[in-house]
Structure formats: C-alpha cells, structure tokens
Amino acid sequence: MSVLIRSEGKNVLVDTGMPPVAAGDPGGMAREYGWDGMWLRSRVAATERVDEQLRLLGLEPGDVDLVVNSHFHSDHAGGNALFEGVSIAAQEAELSVASESEHYLPVWDAPGLVFQPVSGDWSPAPGVEMLHTPGHTPGHQSMLVRLPERPWLFTFDAVYTEEHWRTGKLGAVKDVSQARASVERLRRTAEIEDARLVFGHDMAQWDALGMVESGGPRLVASSET
C-alpha cells in the first residue's frame, strides 16, 4: 500500500510498493533477488507499479516532492529506485540497520537516490505526523493524518490486520518488546484521537475502502469540502 498526500501544493508519497521487476511477473522476484516463492508470492499487476499509479493521477515520479518510507522491506520500499533525485525520508535507525544487514533485499537503495534521515516523530506536511513505532524493524514508522472530520491512523506493519489489532497478535517482528510497546502506543493514539485505523496488510479492509476493486488510486479522505 502506498499513500499519496497532497497538501499545500506539495505531493508526499508514503511507501513505494514492490520492486518494478515484480509487476506483472510472478517470477520476477525469484529470478532477480532469489525470492522464495514458496514463502511469499507477488501479485502485483503491471498497472500497479507505483509510477503507473501516479500516472493515472497525471503525475510523474519527478512530480513527487518527498517520499517517506515506513520501513525498507521490499514491499514498502521496492519502488524507491523510480524516484531518483527526490528526497526519501526514513528513520536513521532504519538506514543504519538496512545498510549493514543481509535481511533486507537490495531494493531500498540505488544510485542517484537521496535519503533524508529523520529521528523519532516528525511531520512531512501540515496535519501529518509520522510516529516512530519500532519493533517490526528498528526504524519502522506509522502515520497519523488529522482531517477535519476524523483523523486516520495508518499502522503499516506495526499491525498487519484488524484481527491482529483485536486479538493482540503480532506479525513478523525484529524486537518483540518494542513491537508490543509500539502497538500500545498506537492504541493510545487511536483512543485519544478517535482515529480511523488502516492496517498494513488487511486485504478485506482495503477492499471495503474500494482500494482493491478500483485497480487504480482511490481517494479515501479529503479536507476539501
């Protein structure tokens, strides 16, 4: 899931999805990166590449003013290479671990990419707050978007699904104690803000929001009347 935020004439893209090689080619990840198809399978259509989705909005990658990575796993930062010359904001902790670890596929970085390190909570645009929620990875961040009607809280991979949120289950995590603390933080934030939650891998929820059937970018919320 990628989220485009348009605020004060600026385009902020949060996450870049799967690598282009995966689009329309179920075997592309295995061929290019040794991806284990028995464990994970790519279902990305050719039209679902992040640059193709932007073009449906009349935008090119160069029209994006800032890219934000929730973290550097290949399904969230795989399209980074398409944004040469665009600042890509990521937590310092994520930059550090991904640079040194063999557990990240080499898709988050590429020649010509410009990274903007951030530390802790920060705001990429008015009304948008990135929350440092480590556990899934050391530099994972979630996102709170404050809108007039109701805030939206995007958990990304801090919470995979509504069922995980309801039962307290964790998905894949690097640090269990950090992950649980981050979930508790998100619970407090959701309660205080009365926020609508969007989970990182809940296909049923995405379908309910019209994000699956449309096949293209979907406007899910706006501050415009």
CATH classification at residue 102: 3.60.15.10
Q: How many domains does the chain have?
A: 1
Is 176 within a domain?
yes
Q: What is the model's pLDDT at position 225? A: 46
Interval 51-82: pLDDT, tens: 999 999 999 999 999 999 999 999 999 999 99
Interval 147-160: pLDDT, tens: 989 999 999 999 99
Which residues of the chain fall short of a pLDDT of 70? 36-42, 212-215, 224-225
Is 70 within a domain?
yes
* CA–CA distance, 108 with 136 (Å, rounded to integer): 16
3-state secondary structure of 109: coil
Is 215 within a domain?
no
Domain with 163 in it? 3-208
* Full DSSP string of 154-194: EEETTS--HHHHHHT---S-S-HHHHHHHHHHHHHHHHHHT
Q: Do residues 71 and 138 touch, judged by C-beta distance below 8 A?
A: no
Is 218 within a domain?
no
